[in-house]
Amino acid sequence: MTEQSPNARALIEHIAKALVDEKDAVFIDEYEDGDETVIELEVAEAEMGKVIGRSGRIARALRTLLAAAGTKNNKRYALEILE
């Protein structure tokens, strides 16, 4: 059995596209910033509420998933939602 490393960028992209109606307007960028990997998520302006959620609950859940994905590989991830 082969073990795949978690791809945090693909995880966030998949979840974001499932949340929004305009799937073509979801853009993901990833870059290294010191010892952590920053994932930038950009969606259509009308879809921001669906990605952030009430009181930021969905955004917080996405960041929690990134932390869990990074634990296995000893990596740190940060999620930035761009307007």
- Quick one: pLDDT at residue 80? 95
Tell me the two tokens of residue 30: 């990833």
Q: Given a cut of 80, is residue 73 above it in pLDDT? A: no
Distance from C-alpha of 39 to C-alpha of 83, rounded to nearest angstrom: 14
Does 3 reside within a domain? no
Q: How confident is the model at residue 6 (pLDDT cuts 50, 70, 90)?
A: low
Measure the CA angle with vertex 22, ends 49 and 59; round to 5°: 30
Each residue's pLDDT tens digit, 27-63: 999 999 989 999 999 999 999 999 999 999 999 999 9
- When divided into structural domains, the chain yields a total of 1
Q: Given a cut of 60, is residue 81 above it in pLDDT? A: yes
- Closest by CA to 12, choosing from 52, 33, 39, is 39
Distance from C-alpha of 40 to C-alpha of 27, rounded to nearest angstrom: 8
CATH of the domain at 65: 3.30.300.20
Does 2 reside within a domain? no
Measure the CA angle with vertex 77, ends 23 and 67; round to 5°: 95
